[in-house]
A = this chain, B = another copy of it.
Amino acid sequence: MKRNVFSFPSKCNYDKRNIIHSIKVGIALVLVSLLYLLDPLFKKVGENAMWAIMTVVVVFEFFAGATLSKGINRGIGTIAGGGLGCLAAILADEIRGSIGNAIVVASSVFIFGAAATYARLVPRIRRRYDYGVMIFILTFNLVVVSGVRANKVMDLAQKRLSTIGMGFAVCIFISLLVFPMWASDDFHYSLASKFDKLASSIEGCLEEYFKLSGEKENKTSAILKDCKSVLHSKSNDESLAKFAKWEPWHGKFGLSYPWDMYLEIGEILRELAATAIALKGCLQSPKQPSPMQRKQVEEPCEILGLSLVWIMRELGESIEKMNKCRAKILIIPKLQILKLQLSLMQPPFKIQVENDDNLAISSFIFSLMEIVEKVEIL
């Protein structure tokens, strides 16, 4: 839920998005309520209008992609559950005697319920189709059980499906066409802002390190917070990527935009954040070299750090703006110089904490570079 200033929806902007989303949900609810409120419509659908309202309440999500994926899951779950439920109800109908009938229904409820619940616990299904399977269980049960009572199961199922379809259509219409919130935009900018956050963290660390000891402890917690927000972004990233994959072509993103690549970059950035936190740990550890020694390493470290920060910012910007040429031309030579500097630098210094961490960072950056290049090519 945290956002960065970096040319990205700020706190205020973010709040505005929430308000827009709320208003959109309100409008969608009023639209489906019309099924009840307007007499001619109500005569057609009857009490089944309830299902349209339910669909809107449950399916309408913040991001367009999430709405789409939930709606499609719901649709498929309803159809599959309804179809199997009808079959089971017809089968149960052919068995004579109400007790035999009830036994068939109860056992089919048990078998399908237990099997589908087990499927929901399999991680791969859970990640993608959890909601669909739940709706499958629900629809199957309702249909098979009410099949015992109402003989017009098919008719009922059809009506419900059509109202669910109406609810879904309203959701999609409002979610995709009226001020859409794209998970892909969010994902794109959050990736770019991560580079920026890490860059400022490294910058902050360096500043902190070469200050006099009295002035410390002011910015440290802010740096740590930034790093941690990058570090703990995994689950957020994954859900955004999941939704982004569902979103149709819009803006600068094509249909098969490489979101998995984004996840890989995110993973590397998290490793980098871990390194940065460890670097901070070194800075805070009680055993520090004397100010003299620190002065000695100050200049090369500063140069190194600054070019590192510059590269990170540049990479972030090039991802944000999706231009590859500038990044390639400017960054790669700079990176090579950096690596050279690092290898030249080692011998004269005895305190290698800082440098070695930078080394690790730069090796991370190097592998990162490779992936960024791949993205830029695509």
Binding site for B on A (CB under 8 A): 1, 18-19, 21-23, 25-27, 29-30, 33-34, 36-38, 42, 49-50, 53-54, 57-58, 62, 102, 105-106, 109-111, 113-115, 117-118, 121, 123, 134, 137-138, 141-142, 145-146, 148-149, 231-232, 234-235, 270-271, 273-275, 277-279, 281-282, 284-287, 343, 346, 350-353, 356-357, 359-360, 363-364
Copies in the complex: 2
Given contacts A57-B138, A234-B235, 11 further A-B contacts (CB under 8 A): A1-B123, A18-B118, A26-B111, A29-B137, A30-B110, A33-B145, A62-B121, A282-B359, A285-B359, A285-B363, A352-B352
**Contact between A134 and B58 (Cβ–Cβ < 8 Å)?**
yes
The answer to whether A57 and B105 touch (CB under 8 A), given A33-B145, A114-B23, A364-B281, is no
Residues of B within 8 A of A146 (CB): 36, 50
Q: Which chain B residues border A281 with CB–CB below 8 Å?
A: 271, 275, 360, 363-364
Residues of B within 8 A of A274 (CB): 231, 273-275, 277-278
Are A114 and B25 in contact (CB-based, < 8 A)? yes
Contacts of A353 in B (CB 8 A): 352-353, 356
User: Do A134 and B57 touch across chains, with their CB atoms under 8 A apart?
Assistant: yes
A348 to B256, CA, bound (A): 57
Interface pair A363/B286, CB less than 8 Å apart:
yes
Pair B22/A121 contact, Cβ less than 8 Å: yes
Q: A274-B231, A282-B360 are in contact. Are A109 and B33 (CB under 8 A)?
A: yes
In the complex the two chains form, is B26's CB within 8 Å of A113's CB? yes
A89 to chain B: closest CB distance in Å? 12
In the bound complex, residues from chain B placing their C-beta under 8 Å from that of A27 are 110
- A-B contact list, 14 entries, CB within 8 Å: A21-B117, A22-B115, A25-B114, A27-B110, A29-B110, A29-B137, A30-B106, A37-B105, A232-B232, A271-B277, A275-B281, A285-B359, A286-B363, A287-B343
